[in-house]
Chains A and B, each alone.
Chain A
Amino acid sequence: MIENRPITTFVSHSVLIIGVALIVFPIWIMIVASTHDALRLTQVPLPLLPGDQLWTNLKSLFEEKDFGTPIHLTVFNSLVMALMISVGKISISVLSAFAIVYFKFRFRMFFFWMIFITLMLPVEVRILPTYEVVANFNMLDSYWGLSIPLIASATATFMFRQTFLTIPDELMEASRIDGASPMRFFFDVVIPMSRTNIAALFVILFIYGWNQYLWPLLITTDPDMYTAVMSIKQMLESGEGEPQWHLIMLTALIAMLPPILVVIFMQKVFVKGLTDSEK
């Protein structure tokens, strides 16, 4: 259907522009705020144009502060946590989906449904028992403690199961005749054929891991283990003085960057993984 009605074009464009503005404006404010000094941000009206304090603010973020951990440490912690979660989630779920799809064992469907049911239980529901377990394993204030409880993933298992079901059985049979063991088949055929799905899932899981807030907040007490996202909150509550808005905004800005980079660089595979598959 091709339509060429100016009013429709005008309306639809306005709607889109308003939508974009609603999303972009807060981000713009954030960028602007991060380039001014503390004093300017307490005055009304708030600045709408960038200032010249970006470099100074950035420098103070990297120095040890009485109100928080230096930003490079928190970003590094976040990065480690997000990578451990996404890599761990993918490896475990891809293997369990492989088991469920390609092997016949007793209670196969039972296990599948067990995994599936956990979809309905978010981290927050099981947070107390999980904390107990992690504490007993002495994993508080460690990267393992940050990532392991978040690694098991029903969503990813389910998604990989669906992907594997679309791989024709004949491929498995052909590889059996070629003499491939199940794990050879897994690495030589299944993994390469689901690589776009893996990439797409990686993007989603990385952002999921990066944005974790409640869990890191609970199990880290050592400031050296704080993650970027939770450090923002820490800065808000810190001390008796006024919140350092310019620094908070800059931290938020920096915390946003890695997910954005991941999305930009993996966008092609990401879209391909979610839409088509060359089968």
Chain B
Amino acid sequence: MSTIKIEQIKKSYESTQVIHGIDIEINHGEFIVLVGPSGCGKSTLLRMVAGLETITEGIVKIDDEVVNDLEPKDRGIAMVFQNYALYPHMSVYDNMAYGLKLMKLPKAEIEERVQQVAELLQIEDFLERRPSNLSGGQRQRVAMGRAIVRKPKVFLFDEPLSNLDAKLRVQMRMQIKTLQRNLNVTTIYVTHDQVEAMTMADRLVVLKDGVAAQIGTPMEIYDNPLTQFVAGFIGSPAMNFIDCEVTDQHILIAGQTLTRPAHITVRGKLVLGVRPEHFIESQSVGLQGKVEMIEKLGASILLYVSCENNPQPIVIQCDNNENIKIGDSHNMVFDLQKMYFFDPDSQQRVS
């Protein structure tokens, strides 16, 4: 059993504070993804858990033991770095065995453990090679192997897939997830890629400017974003945001007037958020616009529809339809259940 508790953790470099008090409670075996744009403090947070960065304020507990002042090696963690950080002058075997040698384990046990993990990751054929003679994907697996042989209580991943090409990334994504589930080790995973975050996480922590904007399962966050930032960051293609004004009878939107659906109870100047996949084919009157651009994805297409008085084109995902041409006028009908309203000042969701 290994749980992690992060309580009111803060980090400052000299006078600039980068993390402003984050609380996360992680259960045993959970796969937590820290996601956010660059500079949001996600790596810093991970490194504080690892012990590579000092904690300015707050407490990190692993298994109810405060680890703030423990050396990384005493925290029972293993980390996979973005550039893998394999020792270039050691063979794959030595890379994986190095930590175990320092733990002063008997030689036979080291060999057994390394062999076992190498088989698990299918790297047993190049145990004698140097990292420089391996491909990116192989290096990635060696880095994971080095983490696994330590039999840690917690895995920490710092953007481990960002140096791989797109196809390999999808493959490794599945492998890491399966591996983690089989080993049942509590994991914190940092990424800026929201697809990675959605597909891998048991729970997501969306970070912005050193604050946890929202914590929840991927679907919770997708269905119920609490702020405009989270709504825009999670989901691909990103959510459309349109300025609007809701009155008792109407919704004034992009210079057009639509009837207010009965279930919308909020009033005032707001930001309407609609995901591209939440438009429906319908004869009823919707927002009018002109198709500006079409992106064909194969199974579906993305329409970029511009409206007068709206600075950004509205992105709509719909089934492949050869009849739609650039320049056509388009009738956009919202899925009434999937409309999100945000306060333009506080960016908070209103409902």
Binding site for B on A (CB under 8 A): 168, 170-171, 173-180, 184, 188-189, 192-193, 278-279
For B85, give the chain A residue with the smallest CB separation.
A170
Q: Are A171 and B102 in contact (CB under 8 A)?
A: no
CB distance from B153 to the nearest CB of A (A): 13
Q: Are A174 and B79 in contact (CB under 8 A)?
A: yes
Q: Are B88 and A177 in contact (CB under 8 A)?
A: no
Q: Are A177 and B83 in contact (CB under 8 A)?
A: no
- Out of A175, A179, A279, which one reaches B88, CB within 8 Å? A279
Q: Are B72 and A168 in contact (CB under 8 A)?
A: no
Q: Are A176 and B72 in contact (CB under 8 A)?
A: yes
- Out of A171, A179, A192, which one reaches B85, CB within 8 Å? A171
Interface residues of B in 65-98 (CB under 8 A from A): 71-73, 77-79, 81-89, 98
For A181, give the chain B residue with the smallest CB separation.
B102
Q: Are B102 and A177 in contact (CB under 8 A)?
A: no
- Out of B71, B83, B88, B146, which one reaches A176, CB within 8 Å? B71
For B52, give the chain A residue with the smallest CB separation.
A173
CB distance from B95 to the nearest CB of A (A): 9
Q: Are A189 and B87 in contact (CB under 8 A)?
A: yes
- Out of A173, A178, A184, A189, which one reaches B81, CB within 8 Å? A173
Question: In the assembled complex, which residues on chain B have CB atoms less than 8 Å from the CB atom of A173?
Answer: 50, 52, 72, 79, 81, 85
A278 to B130, CA, bound (A): 11
Known A-B contacts: A170-B81, A170-B82. Give 11 more (CB < 8 A). A168-B83, A170-B84, A171-B87, A173-B85, A174-B79, A174-B81, A176-B72, A177-B50, A177-B52, A177-B77, A193-B89
Question: In the assembled complex, which residues on chain B have CB atoms less than 8 Å from the CB atom of A171?
Answer: 85, 87
- Out of B78, B85, B98, which one reaches A188, CB within 8 Å? B98
Question: In the assembled complex, which residues on chain A have CB atoms less than 8 Å from the CB atom of B326?
Answer: none
A170 to B156, CA, bound (A): 14
Interface centre among B71, B73, B77, B132 (most CB of A within 10 A): B73
A170 to B86, CA, bound (A): 9
Question: In the assembled complex, which residues on chain A have CB atoms less than 8 Å from the CB atom of B102?
Answer: 178-180, 184
For A179, give the chain B residue with the smallest CB separation.
B73
Interface membership of B99, Cβ < 8 A: yes
> CB-CB contacts of B268-304 with A at 8 A, as 1s and 0s?
0000000000000000000000000000000000000
* Secondary structure call for the A interface: helix
Question: In the assembled complex, which residues on chain B have CB atoms less than 8 Å from the CB atom of A180?
Answer: 98, 102
Q: Are A178 and B99 in contact (CB under 8 A)?
A: yes
A178 to B51, CA, bound (A): 12
Interface centre among A168, A175, A179 (most CB of B within 10 A): A179
Interface membership of B164, Cβ < 8 A: no
Q: Are A193 and B72 in contact (CB under 8 A)?
A: no
A178 to B52, CA, bound (A): 12
Question: In the assembled complex, which residues on chain B have CB atoms less than 8 Å from the CB atom of A175?
Answer: 87, 98
CB distance from B4 to the nearest CB of A (A): 16
Question: In the assembled complex, which residues on chain B have CB atoms less than 8 Å from the CB atom of A176?
Answer: 51-52, 71-73
A189 to B87, CA, bound (A): 7
A177 to B206, CA, bound (A): 26
Question: In the assembled complex, which residues on chain A have CB atoms less than 8 Å from the CB atom of B150?
Answer: 178
Q: Are A177 and B73 in contact (CB under 8 A)?
A: yes
CB distance from A277 to the nearest CB of B (A): 10
Interface membership of B103, Cβ < 8 A: yes
A218 to B275, CA, bound (A): 85
- Out of B72, B84, B86, which one reaches A177, CB within 8 Å? B72
CB distance from A43 to the nearest CB of B (A): 61
Given contacts A168-B83, A173-B81, whether A178 and B98 have CB atoms under 8 Å apart is yes
A174 to B72, CA, bound (A): 10
Q: Are A178 and B73 in contact (CB under 8 A)?
A: yes
- Out of B85, B89, B103, which one reaches A174, CB within 8 Å? B85
Question: In the assembled complex, which residues on chain A have CB atoms less than 8 Å from the CB atom of B82?
Answer: 170
A170 to B158, CA, bound (A): 11
Q: Are B89 and A192 in contact (CB under 8 A)?
A: yes
A178 to B83, CA, bound (A): 17
CB distance from B100 to the nearest CB of A (A): 9
CB distance from A176 to the nearest CB of B (A): 5
Question: In the assembled complex, which residues on chain B have CB atoms less than 8 Å from the CB atom of A278?
Answer: 88-89, 132
A171 to B79, CA, bound (A): 12
For B158, give the chain A residue with the smallest CB separation.
A170
For A177, give the chain B residue with the smallest CB separation.
B72
A157 to B247, CA, bound (A): 73
Q: Are B81 and A179 in contact (CB under 8 A)?
A: no
Q: Are A177 and B87 in contact (CB under 8 A)?
A: no
| A/B interface sample: 29 pairs, CB < 8 A | A168-B85, A170-B82, A170-B83, A170-B85, A171-B85, A171-B87, A173-B52, A173-B72, A173-B79, A173-B85, A174-B85, A174-B146, A175-B87, A175-B98, A176-B52, A176-B71, A176-B73, A177-B51, A177-B72, A177-B77, A177-B79, A178-B98, A178-B99, A178-B102, A180-B102, A184-B102, A188-B87, A189-B89, A278-B89
